[in-house]
Structure 1
Amino acid sequence: MTGNLDQDLLLGINALAGTHAGLYELATNSLFRGIPIFGSLVALWFVDDCAKRRSRMLAGLFGVCLATMLSVWLQFHVFVHTRPLLDPALHVNSVAVPWSWDRQSSFPSDTATLFFGLATVVFIENRWAGWLCFLWATVVVALSRVAFAFHYPSDVIGSLVLGVAFVMLFGRPSYPRVVIERMLVTLGNRMYLVHAFLFVFLAEASNLFLSLEQLGKDLVRMVHS
């Protein structure tokens, strides 16, 4: 025990599963970790043809996107602590990852922000499904990020706050929802365009908005070149 609760929790969880390659493969498998949450979103979208509910979901998903982008920005520009895996002062267990880390700071977890935000969208529409999605996001996504020393426990707690707050900020107030609802009503018989947009969004979200992030980096390079 070091007296640092955040670090002690990290080391305790990491000692249990930090070198388990099988658990790592399972926890990072997009289908396995995503299907309860993404499946719930699609089911709730098509359960009936309610513009009010769909507008609320779209507003919440917009909040998820912004929260995830903000979490990535914070990792690049606000240093809180070194990612545990990259901290030479910590002797953590880990597995070989097929990428190099471009962010030394780990607060907050963008992956956990995304999944907690999506779980919040589900929760607003269906309490039981929402609780199950929160449980799944906590165990499969958040705890695995700590177990493999990608993040501290405080990183995923920050992600929980960020993901939930942004969905509530955009999904609960009437103004964003009313604007989106009017758009849905205006589209009328062209709802297939909204369905297509939703599926593209969910596909990108399941890949952690990596294409969107890369597009942003490319645009920044073009501006400064």
Structure 2
Amino acid sequence: MNDFPFANNLINKIANAHEVKGLVSAIIFWFLWFYPSKGDGRHRSKLWAVLFTTVVSITLGRILANSLPFRPRPRANPEVVGSAISQNSFFEDWSSMPSDHAIMFFALATGFFLISRKVGLLAFAHAALIVCLPRLLLGLHYLSDILVGAAIGVMLSILLVPLVSRVLDARFNQDRYPDYLVYPFLFFVTYSFATMFNGIREFGGIAKTLIKQIL
């Protein structure tokens, strides 16, 4: 990639720009939220379930990355690239396996697919080509990191979205909550996955450091 600086710069921009990653998924979410339902009328329950699954997916991704044996990023592994490429401590401290990007975006894509096949296929293409491929090309993940993450994301949505949506339909009347409470909450969650929960994860890292110092 170093032989093609323009391509390398473009891929870096894509890999780091929330506008072409999480924001796209947030737009898809709101499109489906307001799009007239032609099916069983449960699409909003399923979208609530997609939000829940997204939070579970990013949490599980962090737990697995911290619990499994540490795996350095390809670009930081001299055995892969000949000499480690300098990267910031954010990536140095985070294990490569599994890809939390793959977990979250494939969980989202699968959830969208369960609501609309056409939209879901578009989300799958976005997750593979726009989100995961640049990270593979930049040496931020091995292919196996992405495949494992994608498999986890898909399985989580297949298991949780139907289950959680049925629980919501059976036990909660969504119309009882006023819009001025519902929509700010939805905005916060969709904003969070539009930014890959970066702010929350950074505060979590600070809290983890403080706890270690105290203990």
- Fold shared by both chains (TM-score > 0.5): yes
The whole-number CA distance in structure 1 between the counterparts of 2:41 and 2:169 is 6
Contact 2:76–2:87 (8 Å) recurs in 1 = no
User: Structure 2: which amino acid aligns with 1:202?
Assistant: T
The whole-number CA distance in structure 2 between the counterparts of 1:222 and 1:182 is 42
User: Structure 2: which amino acid aligns with 1:86?
Assistant: A
Write out per-residue CA displacement over residues 123-174 of structure 1, whole angstroms, 9 at most, x where no aligned residue.
Answer: 111101110110111011111111000000011111111111111221122x
The whole-number CA distance in structure 2 between the counterparts of 1:93 and 1:40 is 40
Residue of structure 2 equivalent to 1:44: 32
Residue of structure 2 equivalent to 1:22: 10
Aligned pair in 2 of structure 1 residues 100, 81: CA closer, same or farther (>3 Å)?
A: closer
Residue of structure 2 equivalent to 1:142: 132
Aligned pair in 2 of structure 1 residues 115, 186: CA closer, same or farther (>3 Å)?
A: closer
Residue of structure 1 equivalent to 2:74: 84
User: Structure 2: which amino acid aligns with 1:178?
Assistant: R
RMSD (Å), alpha carbons: 2.9
Secondary structure of 2:79's aligned partner: coil
TM-score normalized with structure 1 length: 0.80
Is 1:215 the counterpart of 2:215? The answer is: no
Task: Tell me the number of residue pairs that the alignment of Structure 1 and Structure 2 aligns.
Answer: 210
Write out per-residue CA displacement over residues 55-86 of structure 1, whole angstroms, 9 at most, x where no aligned residue.
Answer: 22211221121111111222222126321111
Residue of structure 2 equivalent to 1:162: 152
Identity of matched residues, %: 24
Write out per-residue CA displacement over residues 80-130 of structure 1, whole angstroms, 9 at most, x where no aligned residue.
Answer: 632111111121799876664243520111112111111112111110111
The whole-number CA distance in structure 1 between the counterparts of 2:77 and 2:84 is 12
After the TM superposition, which of the residue ranges 142-151 and 184-193 deviates more from structure 2? 184-193
The whole-number CA distance in structure 2 between the counterparts of 1:136 and 1:170 is 22
Secondary structure of 2:91's aligned partner: coil
Given candidates 196, 199, 212, the residue that maps to 2:184 is 196
The whole-number CA distance in structure 1 between the counterparts of 2:208 and 2:199 is 14
Is 1:181 the counterpart of 2:169? The answer is: yes
Given candidates 76, 87, 93, the residue that maps to 1:103 is 93
Contact 1:21–1:95 (8 Å) recurs in 2 = no
The whole-number CA distance in structure 1 between the counterparts of 2:65 and 2:109 is 22
**Which consecutive unaligned segments of at least 5 residues does structure 1 have?**
1-13
TM-score normalized with structure 2 length: 0.83
Is 1:125 the counterpart of 2:115? The answer is: yes
List 4+ stretches of structure 1 deviating above 6 A.
Answer: 14-19, 92-96
Residue of structure 1 equivalent to 2:54: 64
User: Structure 2: which amino acid aligns with 1:111?
Assistant: H
**Which consecutive unaligned segments of at least 5 residues does structure 2 have?**
none
Shift of residue 221 of structure 1? 4.5
